[in-house]
Amino acid sequence: MDARLEAIRDTVLARNPGEAEFHQAVVEVFESLGPVHDRHPELLEAAILERLCEPERQIIFRVPWTDDAGRVQINRGFRVEFNSALGPYKGGLRFHPSVYLGIVKFLGFEQIFKNALTGMPIGGGKGGSDFDPRGRSDAEVMRFCQSFMTELYRHIGEYTDVPAGDIGVGGREIGYLFGQYKRITNRYESGVLTGKGISWGGSLVRPEATGFGTVIFTQEMLNSRGTSFDGQRVVVSGSGNVAINAIAKAQSLGATVVACSDSSGYVVDEAGIDVGLLREVKEVERGRLKDYAERRAGVSYVNVGSVWNVDATVALPCATQNELDGGAAARLVRNGLLAVGEGANMPSTRDAVAVFQDAGVLFGPGKAANAGGVATSALEMQQNASRDSWSFEHTEERLTEIMVGIHDRCAATADEYGEPGNYVLGANIGGFVKVADAMLAQGLI
């Protein structure tokens, strides 16, 4: 890493102790930014990096609620409003027991660059809670969401901060959150949240957008090597919103998705995942992958080891951070891997990224490859602002244009900086330059 940036990195790490995921995200970005600072020393002068690494505002709050047995439960809520140079803070809410400030900050930091890459007018933020929705009734989830919004409402708004979903937060949770926001504020402010239901201000394609977008980005990478998804053998991790829609899109382009996972195990389905059955089990019944395996002939369910033990030509990690390590990456590479598209945020460890890049595997980092979700959230905001709603076809066309644009911007930036095919460098520099320009223009903010 560039020595000037090393000193700034050390200060950032020391100022944010114990936040391993935030450190990892910051270091990865800094490793790409030396050449930009050679060309633009004014960025150092203006301390853009120091400012970028310090969130504009961090909110941590108590979320008290009662469970179905009448017992009082206490969780911790977070919203990190990281950077508003390009637009209102924008980014999801994650409900998972592993959530703490370091996770929210890593996600919020990544979101700044991702949102810049979309070309839409959105800043970066992220939030969530250590609440575990698993095994909770609808009524418990509703009471939790109402309590969470009872504090969050004062910090958000169409022109301020616009949350959406992430792990553990989907249409059901966004509904409860929106209902409580409306009740407290007495405003039908559709643009305050995205991922809403279609009859109350939501956008078609938003549920599919992250998974679809990841596959579109990966298809563009494959095209750059004269190939495509057609005939590829694909492994997807996770079986939530992003994973299911990535599976559907990859198979619609002629690939066979032979495996997917949840946090308890994985299924191997050599005939190709039955997306209809998977949606039924996961989205309708809120069941487990084990139930999928029990209901389909020829499927094996494995509850030891990792889904990355299954060979693939294309890997789409769509579960969570640091789920694919250097050992798994090396095994996949030995067995003929061509491309990786990150549907999740930072699913590959730094070792794994190095293995992929050294082997010449096409590697699309999450902040570029999974930007279709937030980009379609921005399309939802556009529809809300104009009180309009677009057809599925029109919205999907916009999503495709945006993903192809992100791919091309990353590729062109990598070329410009002398590292053709390095999408990590392209995404980091491409996103950074846009935000840095806006920050410079807006004075010392």
Among 146, 194, 218, 261, binds ligand 2IT (CB under 6 A): 194
Least distance to ligand NDP from the beta carbon of 3, Å? 33
- What is the spatial distance between Cα 228 and Cα 295, in angstroms, rounded to a whole number? 31
Instruction: Give the 3-state DSSP-derived string for 246-311, with helices as H, strands as E and coil as C.
Output: HHHHHHHCCCEEEEEEECCEEEECCCCCCHHHHHHHHHHCCCCHHHHHHCCCCCEEECCCCHHHCC
Residue 169 gets which letter from DSSP?
B
With 0-12 / 13-18 / 19 or more C-beta atoms within 10 angstroms meaning exposed / middle / buried, residue 373 is buried
Contact between 128 and ligand 2IT per CB under 6 A: no
Whether the Cβ atoms of residue 25 and residue 110 lie closer than 8 Å to each other: yes
Active site residue 126: yes
Q: If binding is defined by CB under 6 A, does position 342 make contact with ligand 2IT?
A: no
Rg, the chain, Cα only? 21
319 binds, among ligand 2IT, ligand NDP, none (CB under 5 to 8 A by kind): ligand NDP
DSSP for residue 115:
H
DSSP-derived letter for residue 388 is: -
The binder of ligand 2IT chosen from 166, 220, 269, 342 (CB under 6 A): 166
Tell the smallest beta-carbon distance from residue 445 to ligand NDP (Å).
Answer: 27
- Can you tell me which of 374, 381, 410, 425 binds ligand 2IT, judged by CB under 6 A? 374
**Interaction of residue 84 with ligand 2IT, rule CB under 6 A:** no
For ligand 2IT, give the closer residue by CB, 79 or 90.
90
Q: For residue 197, how far is the Cα from the chain centroid?
A: 20
Write out the H or E segment, with its range, that includes residue 163.
Answer: strand 161-164
How many chain residues touch ligand 2IT (CB under 6 A)?
A: 12
Catalytic residue among 90, 105, 114, 126: 126
Closest separation between CB of residue 4 and ligand 2IT, Å? 30
Please check whether residue 124 is in contact with residue 107, taking contact to mean a CB–CB distance below 8 angstroms.
no
**Which one, 35 or 119, has the nearer CB to ligand NDP?**
119
Residue 91 touches which member of ligand NDP, ligand 2IT, none, C-beta under 5-8 Å by kind: ligand 2IT
Residue 357: name the closest of 282, 445, 419 by CA.
Answer: 419
Binding positions for ligand NDP, rule: CB under 6 A: 165-168, 210, 238-243, 262-264, 318-320, 323, 343-345, 370, 373
Determine the Cα–Cα distance for residues 224 and 48; give it in Å rounded to an integer. Answer: 34
Residue numbers 402-431 binding ligand 2IT by CB under 6 A:
none
Among 77, 92, 123, 211, binds ligand 2IT (CB under 6 A): 92
The entry of ligand NDP, ligand 2IT, none near residue 90 (CB within 5 to 8 angstroms by kind) is: ligand 2IT
Q: How many residues does the chain have?
A: 445
By the criterion CB under 6 A, which residues form the site for ligand 2IT?
Answer: 90-92, 111, 114, 164, 166, 194, 345, 373-374, 377
Active site residues: 126
